[in-house]
Structure 1
Amino acid sequence: MNETSSRPMYEKIFDEVKQQIVTQVYKVGERIPSEKELADAYNVSRITSKKALEMLAGEQLIVRKPGRGSFVADPAVDFNEAEELNSVQYKTPARANKDITTIGVVITDFGNSYGTGLIYGMEKASRDHDCFLVLRRSLGIPANEEVAIQKMLDHGVDGLIVFPAQGEYFNAEILKLVIQRFPLVLVDRYLKGVAAASISTDNAAAAAKATEYLFGLGHTHISFLSPPPDDTTAVEDRIEGFIQAHAQRGVIVDKGLWVNDLMSTLPDSFNDPNNVERDIERLIDHLKQNPAITALFAIEYNIALLAKTAVERLGLQIPQDISIVCFDSPPTHLGGGYSFTHMRQNEEEMGGIAVENVLSIMNGQSVPNKIKLEATLVIGESTGPANISRL
């Protein structure tokens, strides 16, 4: 088997292991193969086998125990058994103790570039306020988000923090919560037409600042790189900031330089090598067709990585030939990695405020409908003066 078949290998691994659990090849409480064992058996990367195990855990077929392995779950036990968050374990306490406040967190995904800081901020605030968190990832899939919310409500959480799934549709469960005035706070983005409290970065201002920085370096032919906006407010606001910066400079926005159909970095497509390679080739072709481009504005870190690969495959240098800016970039102070010039979002503050606002709503206090936090421009290795000779 290999990872280049038409169907993602993690789905095949998921289906086969699930079938083995259903047919009791692996019985309740028994250990199933590890990430490494599955990776070796199917000749795939550990990223792929890990995703298959995460899907099994998401359907409550297995329980993942750090340092011990993954075990077939007991259907009689509720989903509060265990939720793995890297090395941090969140466990919802028994709801018989009504003095303990529990907040459910539904997030698309998290990683070193973005998301982990949000969780850290929430975790710190929950300790400060003596409450507990239980976390579920939706992987950007609205159906997963809806199920996670339903199960948390059934479990009896006192409030919810939701990082809405990428896309134009918000699930009916969120609308119900708003109508019922359930303690709910949205993070990273807001939902148009839904009167729910939200905390996010001031994405328009941040994008404008990054674009203005490129203008200051002499770049006027800037390609904007993003997934399809699909009414996702964070993406739309960054586009708006990019356009505003052009207007303030009197520079005409050339949407012919944009690429806004990159799909491989979306949570439900990420780590599929076929999608990644397709997007890299898309960017290579775009740069060949538009040699006047001297800078790339990547809407997120993973897209910046795609752009960097495309530029380097063309034999061009960063930043001598093409500069790249993006939102978020993992810290490089521990060595290794590449430092992009980026807009750093204040994730920990965002996460902390989310917890505090949920608790305030629970106590009958009013909170702002929208809170937007300032992002910081961090200068890295990926930007320099425009190479006018390329125009």
Structure 2
Amino acid sequence: MQNNSRTPLYLQIQEYYKNQISSKKLSEHEKIPPEREIMEKFNVSRITVANALAELAKEGWIYRIPGKGSFVQEGILSLTNESTTSDLEGNTLLNVSPQIPIGRKMIGLIMPSVEDFFAIRLISGINKVLNQTDYYLVIMLSHNSKETEREAIRELLRMQVVGLFIFPIDAETYNDDILELKVRHFPFVLIDRYLPGVETNYVNSDNVYGAKLAVSHLWELGHRDIAICSDSALPTITVGDRIKGYMDVLKEKGAMINPSLILTDFRVDYGNLDDDHPLYRFIATRYASAYVTLNAKLGLHISRVAKRIGLDVPEDISILTFDDPSSGYDEFGVYTHISQSEQEMGQEAAKVLVELLDDRKNKTFLDYKKINLTPKLIVKETTGVFNELKK
């Protein structure tokens, strides 16, 4: 389908399905095509499709049934027919005032990227809480750069945000500007990270326990050569906690810790399946029968490498990811994964920050809030029983 370059792709998808519903080409309770089909139709990424469907659901055009898909909402036609011509005439850019809603105050969110569904679900959780308050969200990306993260903090302060959510970058040391925020008693909440030795408010997932769930599941399936993989060569607190959980389970099982199965000293070019890359070469040796990846994107990459080599998942190798690579809105979620409940993480972070801001208004200051959410193992199709004959 031809794309109108002037209109964002997710808006094009929204308008297309609104027209399909309004013209009765799609009737009440009729299923919307699956994400994969929409991706092909509009030549867009799955994240773009997920954004479009999320907005359609939020506006009441469709509803979702997990594992089954999206469907046209009952009664939506009668609601759309109530829109009058005068309503449409007023809904133009010429009539839109670029002002901030009166009384609402700005909160900033700084995060490395929004390239995966983890980020989308996290932001959704934050907005779910903030939409019920007098605050609204502004997002800036650090692109995993310490300098960009620093500039984002300073720019948001110049914009007079009243509070910050910070998803710190992967780095050996934290940003000095975060420490300065603490010294100045500026309200902020760290998300998905905490800073060792520094008292702050944070909402995190229990990464040690998450890794224990992952390794225990694979062990029960008969796997003994279990690799744990990160695409960051930096010794971050998240990676460190997950490797600790990995090693703790192996010690409990009486197994030796094999350093060659801890794969962290490399970076991945996700746009390239390089057969000279150390991870590619390692998978080809079939030294490990199962892989725990510390993010969903790396799990997808290993799956592509396995396919190119001629390995079947899960018959030849099992793959278990941290976070779900799929949107969670369609029937194509096949990866066994550790769910960190990222939407809940966003909601809890927003609740903590709103409470901090209320405390400042009332001139009362509570102790630091440190919330560790309990991750869950979601078993799908990418992990299977170890087969000695396939080794």
What is the letter of the counterpart of residue 125 of structure 1?
A: V
- Of the three residues 187, 191, 205, the one matched with 2:191 is 187
Shift of the 303–92 alpha-carbon distance from structure 1 to 2, 3 Å rule, reads: farther
Q: What are the within-5 Å matches in structure 2 for residues 136-147 of structure 1?
A: 136-147=140-151
Q: Which has the higher contact order (CA 8 A, sep 6+)?
A: 2
**Aligned residue for 1:256?**
260
Shift of the 230–330 alpha-carbon distance from structure 1 to 2, 3 Å rule, reads: closer
- Of the three residues 166, 180, 188, the one matched with 1:176 is 180
Q: Contact 2:200 / 2:368 at 8 angstroms: preserved in 1?
A: no
TM-score by length of 2: 0.70
Moved >4 Å (runs of 4+): 32-36, 332-338
CA distance in 2, matches of 1:228, 1:334: 29
**Aligned residue for 2:318?**
323
Q: What are the within-5 Å matches in structure 2 for residues 120-131 of structure 1?
A: 120-131=124-135
What is the letter of the counterpart of residue 115 of structure 1?
A: A
Shift of 1:330: 3.5
- Of the three residues 227, 230, 245, the one matched with 2:231 is 227
Percent of counterpart pairs with the same letter?
Answer: 28
CA distance in 2, matches of 1:147, 1:128: 29
**Aligned residue for 1:202?**
206
Residue ranges of structure 1 left out of the alignment (5+ in a row)? 1-31, 37-44, 51-90, 265-269
TM-score by length of 1: 0.70
Q: Contact 1:92 / 1:134 at 8 angstroms: preserved in 2?
A: no
Shift of the 247–309 alpha-carbon distance from structure 1 to 2, 3 Å rule, reads: same
Shift of 1:258: 2.6
**Aligned residue for 1:83?**
none
CA distance in 1, matches of 2:244, 2:275: 24
Shift of the 335–104 alpha-carbon distance from structure 1 to 2, 3 Å rule, reads: closer
CA distance in 2, matches of 1:334, 1:224: 28
Q: Contact 1:329 / 1:342 at 8 angstroms: preserved in 2?
A: yes
What is the letter of the counterpart of residue 346 of structure 1?
A: S
**Aligned residue for 2:84?**
none
Residue ranges of structure 2 left out of the alignment (5+ in a row)? 10-42, 49-97
Shift of 1:130: 2.5
CA distance in 2, matches of 1:133, 1:317: 43
CA distance in 1, matches of 2:196, 2:244: 15
- Cα-Cα RMSD: 2.7
Q: Contact 2:273 / 2:305 at 8 angstroms: preserved in 1?
A: no
Q: Contact 1:341 / 1:378 at 8 angstroms: preserved in 2?
A: yes
Q: Deviations over 1:273-328 (max 9, x none)?
A: 3xx43488432311334x34211111111111111122222212111111110111
Bigger CA radius of gyration: 2
What is the letter of the counterpart of residue 291 of structure 2?
A: L
What is the letter of the counterpart of residue 376 of structure 1?
A: K
Residue 349 (structure 1) aligned with residue 344 (structure 2): yes
Residue 286 (structure 1) aligned with residue 290 (structure 2): no
What is the letter of the counterpart of residue 378 of structure 2?
A: V
CA distance in 2, matches of 1:133, 1:311: 40
Q: Contact 2:206 / 2:372 at 8 angstroms: preserved in 1?
A: yes
**Aligned residue for 1:303?**
298
CA distance in 2, matches of 1:120, 1:248: 38
